[in-house]
Structure 1
Amino acid sequence: MGEKAILFIATGFGLGRLPFAPGTFGTLAGLPLIGIMVWLATACTPGAAALFLVGVILCAIWISQKAEVLIGQKDPGAVVIDEMAGFCVTMTLVPISLVSLVIGFIAFRCFDILKPFPIRWFEKTFSGGAGIVLDDLMAGVLAAFLLKAIYFML
């Protein structure tokens, strides 16, 4: 894969290069991936959707690693494929609707920005592509549990 393609994908199709809130806009770039997961879960099997999510995560780690080297900066802010993968994780435990997407988006962004334990631990412990992506995956896990709890209470 060429350098331009890696950077285009890593930056969420360019959204990560916006001068303000790149992570927030980059998270929105994950919506098509969530759509694919929903389609796979309904048209095929939930296992196909899970396999797709694993593929997204592995690709995010690889692309983040390459982009970090190309940009020459540790965990560059323009790289938002980690937010895309984390948002996908957030939306795995609940039915997808406009309400769940909005609540999931807000929960994910809050966890990603505030970085409570164990999110900050992952950010500080790992480096390279894994370090870029793992903290966002943990934010996605915490947001998914919160979203599932809200659905359970309702």
Structure 2
Amino acid sequence: MFGWTATVKKPAVSEAFVRPTLRFVYRHPAHFIAFGGGVGLSPAAPGTFGTLLALPLFHALSPLLDPWSFLVLILALFWIGVWASGVTGRALGVADHGGMVWDETVAFLLVLFFVPVTGYWQAFAFLAFRLFDIFKPPPIRYYDRLLKNGFGVMWDDLLAAGYTLLLVAGAHAWLA
């Protein structure tokens, strides 16, 4: 049901040949969510645009919610992402298609929740998160390869968020 029990078999074609369209994204709510409302269709750096999607969401929602409600929202968005990524991955035949960016959006929302609300810290956190998400230091790469399902899609970005928060906290303490 939530996409973490079913695995996606290796597709007959590589991800480079799987080109979702706007029609595909709007065909099912899970596709719409997984592709960040269409942001993931960007021909260049969809993960970067998916990460940037978190900024307006954070600045729109954080004034409306107390901290605990915001964390509960992030948790709910994570599990919605597990479902959406699982459904979309199965539909595409690619467990973690590059256009599925909801994982970056939710993970970076978590990062933004904890970093100081200044342009410098948010920019530093953005760059750090993208680097951890792209290069996948251990154990991120391990889980990225092991978990080929909706949970795995979301989990590796949550780990990248954890690394980002550790780096930001260290930098903040060092500069204080």
In the superposition, the TM-score normalised over structure 1's length comes to: 0.88
Amino acid at match of 2:38: G
Task: Report whether the alignment pairs 1:89 with 2:113.
Answer: no
Amino acid at match of 1:119: I
Q: How many angstroms does 1:36 deviate by?
A: 4.7
Unaligned runs of 5+ in 1: none
CA contact (8 A) 1:68 1:128 kept: yes
Please name the residue that 2:160 is paired with.
139
Please name the residue that 1:75 is paired with.
96
Please name the residue that 1:7 is paired with.
31
Please name the residue that 1:106 is paired with.
127
Amino acid at match of 1:99: Y
Amino acid at match of 2:155: L
Please name the residue that 1:151 is paired with.
172
Q: Which of 49, 52, 55 lines up with 1:28 in the alignment?
A: 52
State the identity %: 34
CA contact (8 A) 1:11 1:80 kept: yes
Tell me, in whole angstroms, the C-alpha distance in 1 between the residues paired with 2:27 and 2:87: 8
Tell me, in whole angstroms, the C-alpha distance in 2 between the residues paired with 1:151 and 1:56: 28
Deviations 1:74-100 (A, max 9, x none): 211110001111211222322222112
Deviations 1:47-66 (A, max 9, x none): 11111111111111111111
Question: Which has the larger Rg?
Answer: 2
Task: Report whether the alignment pairs 1:52 with 2:76.
Answer: no
Q: How many angstroms does 1:120 deviate by?
A: 0.7
Task: Report whether the alignment pairs 1:16 with 2:37.
Answer: no
Count residues in correspondence.
150
Q: How many angstroms does 1:9 deviate by?
A: 2.1
CA contact (8 A) 2:115 2:122 kept: no
Q: How many angstroms does 1:139 deviate by?
A: 0.3
In the superposition, the TM-score normalised over structure 2's length comes to: 0.78
Deviations 1:108-131 (A, max 9, x none): 000001100111122122121011
